[in-house]
Amino acid sequence: MKILSIECSATPASCAIIEDGKIKASSFINAKLTHSQTLMQMIINALDNSATKLCDIDSIAIAVGPGSFTGLRIGISAVKGLAAPNDIPCIPVSTLDGMAQAFIDRDCIVCAVMDARCNQFYNALFEIKDGVITRLCDDRALMCNELKQDITKISPEQKIIICGDGADLFYKSVNDMPNVFVAPEVLKLQSAVGVGMYAYRNIDTISTVSPNDLLPTYLRLPQAERELKAKTEDKK
């Protein structure tokens, strides 16, 4: 089983090739370049450097959200272009599910957070025990104080690891809790390796979609639509 995985839901962009649960190739960049500049070349390099042809890929996994509206659209458009000519099945993966995979080797609560701006975070909580990841809630968009209230309900005996591009920002609100830690830098940010490993570990239970049916998952309206909605409501 060969899976090409892609992650560009936030500032970092990455791709990976997972073969039978092993990382065959991976590439990660966090240089604040647009994904349209970097993503396709990263994918080409990963395929070339691992001696893998696109026709050898069994499925393409991609983080479909939550995340940056522009980043998600670029990533999904790239996957459609790659998958359609070869009719490669696509695996939509929650950005937050992919983030939790990095901590499968430790018993903890993973608090995956993405900065959604305006003091709000995209978030999901996961419990990891004996190598099994269990979701504790759906993907959601919460205000900082709402997420903090959820965190304080967790037993102080459980280690909580905060990861994601919003980790450092959210940690400022809970740094007085001795059982809460920010993930180490090498594991903190979203990564295509996590997306690919989620797809591989759950391949028997998740559903694939055709390239035409691959869509982003938004937890809130894009900013332009929110502003238009606010103006419309103000006129009423």
Query: DSSP characters for 156-219?
Result: TTS-EEEESTTHHHHHHHHTT-TTEEEPPHHHHS--HHHHHHHHHHTTTTSPPB-GGG-----S
Is the distance from CB of 52 to CB of 82 less than 8 angstroms?
no
User: Taking CA 122 as the corner, what is the angle to CA 118 and CA 124, rounded to the nearest 5 degrees?
Assistant: 150
Q: Is the dihedral of CA 186, 188, 192, 194 positive or negative?
A: positive
For the question of whether the overall pTM of this predicted structure is more than 0.85, the answer is yes
Per-residue pLDDT of the chain (236 residues; tens, 9 = 90+): 999 999 999 999 999 999 999 999 999 999 988 999 999 999 999 999 999 999 999 999 999 999 999 999 999 999 999 999 999 999 999 999 999 999 999 999 999 999 999 999 999 999 999 999 999 999 999 999 999 999 999 999 999 999 999 999 999 999 999 999 999 999 999 999 999 999 999 999 999 999 999 999 998 755 444 444 445 555 55
- Can you read off the two tokens belonging to residue 34? 């647009």
Which alpha helices (DSSP H) does the chain contain, by range? 35-49, 69-83, 95-100, 144-152, 167-174, 185-188, 192-201, 223-235
Burial class, 50, CB count within 10 angstroms (exposed 0-12 / middle 13-18 / buried 19+): middle
At residue 12, what is the residue type?
P
At residue 209, what is the residue type?
V
